Amino acid sequence: MYTFAHLRTTSALITLTLLSGATTSSVAFAEEEVMTLEEIVVTSQYREQSLKDVPISVAAIGGMDMRERSIEKMADLQFAVPNFTMAESGIGTNVFIRGAGSGNNQGFEQSVGIYVDGIHHGRAQQSRQPFMDMERVEVLRGPQSILFGKNSVAGALNIVTAKPTLEFEGSVRAGYEPSDNEKEFTGYVSGPISDKIRVRLAGRYHDLDGYMENQTLNRDEPQEEDWALRGTVVADLSDDLEMTFKLEHSRFDTLGRNIEIANELPSVIPSFGGLTYSQILVGVFGADASVLNNTRDDKRHSNGDFSNNKSTEAVMTLNYRMGEHTLTSITGYSNFNYDQNCDCDFTGADVFDLPMTEKYKQFSQEIRLVSPGGEKIDYILGAYFQTSDHDFTDQLRVTEDSVLINALNANPAFAPFGPIFAVNGLAGAGDLFKNTAVPRAAHVDADVYSGFAQLSYHMSDRLTLQLGGRLTHEKKSGAREMTVTNIDGTPLTGAQASLAPDFFGLAFELGASNIRGAELGAEVLPLLTSVYSGIYGPVAGPVVAAQVAGAFGAKASALGTHPVTGERSETKFSPDIKLQFDATDDAMLYASFSKGSKSGGFDFRANNKAASATMEDSFEFEDENATNYELGGKLKLADGAAELNFAAFYTQYKDLQVSIFDGTLGFNVGNAAKADIKGIEVDGRWQVAEGLVLSGSAAYNDFEFKDYPLGRCNFLQTPDSVINGQDFCDYSGETNQLVSEWQGTLGLDHNMYITDDLELRTNINMFYTSEYHASASLDPVLVQKGYAKINARVALANIAGGWEIAVLGQNLTDKRVLLFGGDAPLSGSSFGAKSTYNFIGRGRTFTLQAMMNF
């Protein structure tokens, strides 16, 4: 089996891949000194196979290369693997392959299936967990529903952690980046403790002070601290039965965000006199002066964010050799939870905040039988069961010091309700919001049962037909509740109990359970009639009064109300057909047809029924389905000194699941009717000379919504339709967020012996992307222009002594790129002022690294 641990002992190290532009490899030389690239072995089809024999577009990156390039978490992979993108937002995490992925909603399953040692990580925030002691990561592009499950509709990540070794070994590594005071320590020990038992213990600690100044709190952000411990035991229970047990616990915490406010325009509300959002918050409502910073300059303003994450996972894998067959059982238990606070107005003003928690427990059992391979018919048969329990809560909070109080008191839109406020002793609508909160609680229980099979029929020595299918049955039950309460969670009293829920609906589009609607309108109608008759006369007065009172019922009807529940039961079959032709010993061509689906579910983040007829209709969203056609090939060139791989794909999506900011405070889920994606992926590597390897990759991606009439508009965008009082824009013919038309990598790896023991190792890698939309609403002011990032590493290693020292330079071009963005919540809807939040990437860094093997 191919491993990465021995690569440093060869005289010609290769640290790159073609498939991602970042796979670690080494060079083997035959006695006649013919240079060949060493074979890369992957397990993306549940067998150990040479990468050149796998009829899938795969990018593989080895554990050593990950360490050398400081690929510490999944977000770092996007700068090494074309057509893979990951971005964190204020309340979610977005993972995309080939332009398809899941947006901001904790109720989503992920379009990109993430599997760690065979265990599914289905919650978005699990993808933020840092890597530790990896053997390799395989990025599989396109639907992978047969072997990797129903929800791997865009692709899958097959993450393999390092296993215990047959001989004792260990390593300690340290890294220090001085400008942001970043420190990292990792290490492992591995080896046998008896003839039949092998153990590996690994640990990691990482600490970062931050690279962006929060001028409101006078501190650097985001501050990160994370640690992880993992123990893995492999035991030979008999001559034919091997058990692997892994237990891992980790924490990864963040204080602050990498968000800046920018792109501000004067307010369109006349009473604000053409001031920008920042000027309104400071000049009119007395916010901290730091809020006036509205440019991208590595300085931000915020009242404080944090995210504390915990993960515990236990996995037991049994491999039983039944003659030449292998029966495998994988039993997994995962417990993932976090609590965090989002200062979700993204400014240093006291507007509102949004604490949230998510708790997820999962148990899974997979059993599969794998034939020995090399027969006329090879096959994989399996069954899978998963049960999960998922809870999510958040709480919109408005303190008595919030600028919203005075802003809503002065808002002319609420002037017609003045008599209601006066009779209750209120200065205006804003007084109803003092020290209030809107807790939201969502829950889903889910059970998944599936069976799968993949058969490879070798019709001749050169031609193989592969047929696969997966039948999945899934049951889900969900519920969501939203109620306006006091900020401490107790019930409202007095005028707030009577009026606040409805005014939350009028101001912020919130359909809470205690909204009264028509009942409140009927209650206040006599008062309004009396007041307005005195103003407008006995004929016009009652008409005006009826219109104002009727606004409550009309808004409640348009919003819908809570609680809401739902049940889903669905059965899906996903087929896969591949034809593989080994044209020569050095050239493999393939054609594939596959279908995949991502399960429907329940919307955790919506505040209202959006364009749906009822809240129940809005709460539930349907399956996402994809059909993929692909042609590809894998070529060995120059007598094994070079490789070239390519894939051309065309994917049709139906009912694509999307989650888009509603312009106020919520994210509504819907099913975009159709989207088509087509493109080409090419990668290669070349052993130019002894100790010198060039590699590179390129991807072209064309994403188009074919039918998407109900996209959310950004502020000031002219809507194409208005439903239930909400604006929608037609995105048909448009691209998706986070989709680059072109991406590519280039790499150079050079190794040279200075003395018999000292080796100089040089690695240079470049990543390029063309422009992309950073916002889900395709806001033109949130387009990141094309850019290139260059990383370089120079190391001096002593082979005999087992040590290495290095300097790693990352983002040498110092690009502060826009990773994600959107309209600043409430800036437009409440203040009439265009303003956007911008997640900004880290600039240039230099890290000192040291390693000692023993």
- Same structural domain for residues 469 and 545? no
- Same structural domain for residues 338 and 430? no
Residue 41, domain member (yes or no): yes
Omega of the bond prior to 222 within 30 degrees of 0, cis?
A: yes
Residue 106, domain member (yes or no): yes
pLDDT at 36: 74
DSSP code string of 293-353: --S-SSEE--S--EEEEEEEEEEEEEEEEETTEEEEEEEEEEEEEEEEEE-TT-SSS-S-B
- Same structural domain for residues 526 and 578? no
- Same structural domain for residues 474 and 524? no
Give the residue among 370, 303, 316, 419 at the shortest CA–CA distance from 147.
Answer: 370
Residue 36, domain member (yes or no): yes
Beta strand 624-637 pairing with 587-598: antiparallel
| Structural domains of the chain, count | 2
237-267 pLDDT, tens per residue?
A: 999 999 999 999 999 999 999 999 999 999 9
- Same structural domain for residues 96 and 140? yes
3-state helix, strand, coil in the chain (%, to 5): 15, 50, 35
pLDDT at 663: 67
- Same structural domain for residues 350 and 248? yes
Query: Which residue, 508, 542, 559, sits at the end of a domain?
Result: 559
- Same structural domain for residues 418 and 395? no
DSSP code string of 503-521: HHHHHH----TT--THHHH
Residue 1, domain member (yes or no): no
Which ranges of the chain have pLDDT less than 50?
1-32
Q: What range does the domain containing 653 cover? A: 7-399+439-482+562-853
Residue 687, domain member (yes or no): yes
Query: Which residue, 525, 559, 593, sits at the end of a domain?
Result: 559
Return the CATH number at 98: 2.40.170.20
Q: How far is CA 679 from CA 87, 288, 578, in A?
A: 22, 49, 19
Residue 153, domain member (yes or no): yes
Residue 133, domain member (yes or no): yes
Identity at 436, one-letter amino acid code = T
- Same structural domain for residues 747 and 760? yes
Q: How far apart are CA 133 and CA 416, in angstroms?
A: 64
Query: Which residue, 531, 559, 587, sits at the end of a domain?
Result: 559
- Same structural domain for residues 534 and 642? no
- Same structural domain for residues 689 and 548? no
- Same structural domain for residues 345 and 468? yes
Q: How far is CA 119 from CA 113, 190, 330, 662, in A?
A: 10, 23, 8, 34
- Same structural domain for residues 176 and 264? yes
pLDDT at 595: 93
Beta strand 13-15 pairing with 169-177: unpaired
- In 770-831, the DSSP E strands lie at 772-773, 783-784, 787-798, 803-810, 818-823
Residue 585, domain member (yes or no): yes
